[in-house]
Amino acid sequence: MPAPAVVTGAIGIGVLGCGDIAWRRMLPAFLADRHLRVVAVASRTGERAARFAAEFGCAAVEGYRSLLDRGDVDAVYLPLPPGLHAEWIRRALDAGKHVLTEKPATTSAEDTAELIALARANGLVLMENVMFAQHSRHDRVRRLLADGVAGEVRSFHSTFTIPARPDGDIRLAGNLGGGALLDNGVYPVRAALLLLGPDLEVAGAHLMTHPRYGVDIAGSALLYRSDGVAVQLTFGMDHHYLNDYHVHGSSGRLSVDRAFTPTADLTTEIIVARQGRVDRVTLPAEDQCAKTVAAFVAAIRAGTCPDPGTMLRQAMLIDEIREHARRMRR
């Protein structure tokens, strides 16, 4: 494979695919970061790439392989469906490009482990775009828990549910890695890892299958930590919109609403409930998308992958949740 070039100026970034999140969130964030230069957007059809290129002032490329062949592209962003991630992450790493991929990095722990090892061997960054993890609220929650404001942690509950998807939505396509577990179930799993650490095991899980599309449309999982902390996760995409988490302790509870999708202008809160009182810890608005882009740039400059262990443990837990649900069906 080509050796990754040492990037001394702005990092040239290309986009593999014309997903909605690229248009709404990531391309504007790339343009706003002075350390990045948006070089090109690739699509399977030239027409769609041309529309993106006209909006964001970059080149339009027909075919993903053609973008990877460009010498002015140092890094790529993948907003492709999950079922395509492993193939194109591998191809990008083989082409000497750093990779920022939408979550989940792949649809299996085996593929995720292989690609982490490939990135490491090639001196490249592979980062999963889990934007909420960059928001400072969650660091503050960790500090509050460490300070004992809720006493000893007893349990963790997290939910991410969204309304029903329209016909034709890629999240309903099983061959593209669709389904609620891989789409929004990733968020509660990652939140549990973020706050409780990697020592989590799956005790049971249930997935409800869409009668027409055959993908999981809703699910829940029960995890535990070796010290007895219980973890309950709920996810789905035929529901009222909700994303939150609650940490229950021996003497209090910490709650975070809109835990995964705060807008850049939203002042956020952590609610601390204890016997006879409720306190609200208020944090200023911040742009978790911009912070994710900055973290990717910093990782490229430093030459280190950010937190590959958590990315792999997340993939392993998702595999375990899927397997426990299969056993339940049998």
> Would you please indicate which residues are annotated as catalytic (active-site) residues?
103
Beta bridge partners of 101: 78, 128
111 residue type, one letter: D
- Find, among 22, 69, 25, the residue nearest to 41 by Cα: 22
What is the DSSP secondary-structure string of 58-111?
A: SEEEESHHHHHT-TT--EEEE-S-HHHHHHHHHHHHHTT-EEEEESSS-SSHHH
Residues contacting 197, CB < 8 A, separation 6+: 225
Cβ-contact 275, 150 below 8 angstroms:
no
Task: State both tokens at 259.
Answer: 């835990």
What is the DSSP secondary-structure string of 159-218?
A: EEE-PPPPTT-GGG-GGGT-SHHHHTTHHHHHHHHHHH-S-EEEEEEEEEEPTTT-SEEE
Cβ-contact 317, 223 below 8 angstroms:
yes
Residue found by looking up tokens 């503050």 in the block: 140
Residue 310 CB: number of other CB atoms within 10 A? 17
Sheet strands side by side (includes 268-274): 200-209, 216-225, 230-236, 153-161, 242-249, 252-257, 268-274, 277-283
Cβ-contact 41, 66 below 8 angstroms:
no
Cβ-contact 95, 2 below 8 angstroms:
yes
